[in-house]
Amino acid sequence: MTNITTYRPHWVREDFIDFIGEKIHPTWALKRVKAEVIKIQAVSPDFFKIQLRPNRNFKGRLFQAGQHIAVTVALDGIHHQRHYSIVTILTNGDILIAVRQQGKVSRALSLMQLGAVIELSQAQGNFTLSDSDRPLLFLASGSGITAIYSLLQKAVVQSLEPIDLIYFTRDNAFHAELKTLALMHPNFEYHHFNTIEHAQHLNQTLLRKRVPDFEKREIYACGSASMMKAALRIVAKFDLQPHFHTEYFQLITDKKVKAQPVEFLRSQQVFQAESNLLESAEQAGLKPAHGCRRGICNTCSCTKVSGSVRNLLTGELDHAHNTQIKLCISQAVSPVVINL
């Protein structure tokens, strides 16, 4: 008996619909979230607020303070994705993010022409206010103020408990807004440290002096690796882990470690790793699977066959063979072979 293949017509492909839609308007898409750059405002010499107007596919009503979006931009023909905390969503639905010129993507975003179109994810992340009725303590440094300021705006409205913010900054970004917030809400106390004028770091003595009852607080921290490590030490000493919430925005590699050769075994690719393994692979033109870029999800998990890497969140060294690592938070400290 002869088999006759019956032709079944396919629906028009989504990418074709998007291609036609963007000819009518650059942000039109069937499902993808695309956004137009509406306004760019400097809040310091290298820190910028960027106002984005998303298309109808963005589910702004589901946004929770403290969440972030993945921003995708095309640079030299390569699509790059980075995550940025949402400062707020305006009444007209526009998204406000803040970007520091720390890398290729952030610099490109801060220099974009008004009207440029970029692609976004939906709001995501679990760095949100808990249901606890404990007093609140926020710790921020550098660009970490973006996520903390988002949480703070919601906290001062919904909580009558004491709220304290300790903020370490070189450029006073958002300083005026935070002072205004403190004047408007008597239960909010703002502790500001300009680290250029006065060298100051987070430690137990400072914390006890500024917030004597910090052990009784729900603590939210976002900032530089040094501040986060100090916070984690204090949290561990006082067993505060159940009440400690973190968001890492920057992973600082050890600049004293020389670039190391890394081999992707299955794909037979070799490259030099100067930063974390994910960014180094991307700079070499490779495209390993990834998600959050912050060590939160497991999308970039893989098997390290041999070699030594440093965990950029904990500082721990892994010398063992055939262990699981995350590319985004691992720095090679010796030649490394990975099963990718």
Give yes or no for a contact between 147 and 66, defined as CB atoms under 8 angstroms apart: yes
User: Looking at the structure, do residues 179 and 241 belong to the same domain, yes or no?
Assistant: yes
pLDDT score for 180: 96
Among 96, 120, 144, which residue terminates a domain? Answer: 120
Domain that holds residue 102: 14-120
Domain assignment of residue 312, yes or no: yes
Q: Are residues 26 and 85 in the same domain?
A: yes
- Pair (70, 163) in one structural domain: no
Residue 131 lies in a domain: no
Calculate what percentage of the chain has a pLDDT beyond 70: 89
Q: 76 or 237, which is more confident?
A: 237
Model confidence at 31, pLDDT cuts 50, 70, 90, reads confident
CATH of the domain at 191: 3.40.50.80
For residues 265 and 302, membership in a common domain is answered with yes
Do the domain assignments include residue 86? yes
Same domain, 94 and 22: yes
Asked if residue 90 and residue 60 are part of one domain, the reply reads yes
Higher pLDDT, 122 or 199: 122
Give yes or no for residue 118 having a pLDDT over 90: yes
pLDDT (mean) for 106-113: 93
Q: How many domains does the chain have?
A: 3
Q: Looking at the structure, do residues 141 and 244 belong to the same domain, yes or no?
A: yes
Higher pLDDT, 103 or 155: 155
Boundary of a domain, candidates 248, 276, 307 = 248
For residue 283, being part of any structural domain is answered with yes
Same domain, 101 and 24: yes
The pLDDT confidence band at residue 143, using thresholds 50, 70 and 90, is confident
Residues 141 and 233 in one domain: yes
Write the CATH number for 63.
2.40.30.10
pLDDT for residue 313 is more than 80: no
> Do 157 and 103 fall within a single domain?
no
141 & 227 share domain: yes
